[in-house]
Amino acid sequence: MKKILEFLRENPVQYLATVGRDKKAKCRPFMFAGEMEGRLWFCTNNQKEVYKDMQENPYVEISVSSPSYAWIRLNGKAVFENNMAVKEMCIANPIVKSQYQTAENPIFQVFYLENPHGLIADFSGKPPYEF
């Protein structure tokens, strides 16, 4: 988990892919919120299309590359949970706070990836780190 957390924190804007309600691929920039309770957490709001897409099909993939041409692909099932401790962690980010003001905002939603798996790879020729 340490290697995954380090990679996500060093590359703060990832791309989240979903299957849209129109059954077509959708990809948008997203931010990793943090780790708590051994889970990788993200946040969004329940008015966005991405939230509605994940309600219909919760399987997502996240990807980002580093300036040194390493990349992560991380996938799992998005599980939404009304977890106030996680919401408080998320709202500590000034970008998130500017959008939602408080953790109690009713449109503010947090989710973790259930059974996350994926890899971190680069062009070195070494086998990727799989998790």
Both tokens of 119, joined, read: 């890899």
Domain assignments of the chain as residue spans, ordered by start: 2-123
Residue 11's pLDDT band, with cuts at 50, 70 and 90, is: very high
pTM to 2 decimals? 0.94
Q: Which pLDDT tens digit goes with each residue over 48-91?
A: 999 999 999 999 999 999 999 999 999 999 999 999 999 999 99
For 2-123, give the CATH class: mainly beta
Query: Using H for helix, E for strand and C for coil, what is the string for 43-70?
Result: EEECCCHHHHHHHHCCEEEEEEECCCCC
Among 121, 124, 112, smallest CA distance to 58 is for 112
Whether the CB-CB separation of 33 and 102 falls below 8 Å is answered with: no
